[in-house]
Amino acid sequence: MRRILPGRIRDTLYLSKLLASYLNVLQQAPIQASLRLISHDARIPEHILELLAQAHLNMEQLKDITPEDFHIVFSNIMFRFPTVKIWETRGGELFFEF
């Protein structure tokens, strides 16, 4: 397995999928952080989180989004939830460690 550090990734399609998975895991994990709570703690509007997490579903949106947009979002969220680490298995599956 290798550790995923979103700040080093430049592929916006991958970052969007990663953000969607990350938000989903935070909401379903024992901490049960709702999107509203994540938005409040990270100081990022909910609609921005939703837009970035769903951008991989609409390729037209991705052309206007830069990797730095994702980097800011990930750094703000990861600062608030530092115990959640992202790993990728050799098969390419994501694993979230709490």
State pTM to two decimals. Answer: 0.91
SS3 assignment for the chain: CEECCHHHCCCHHHHHHHHHHHHHHHHHCCCCCCHHHHHHHHCCCHHHHHHHHHHHHCHHHHCCCCHHHHHHHHHHHHHHCCCCEEEECCCCCEEEEC
Span 3-17, average pLDDT: 95
Q: What is the pLDDT of residue 81?
A: 85
Q: Give pLDDT tens digits for 24-76.
A: 999 998 878 899 999 999 999 999 999 999 999 988 888 889 999 999 999 99
Q: What is the pLDDT of residue 24?
A: 93
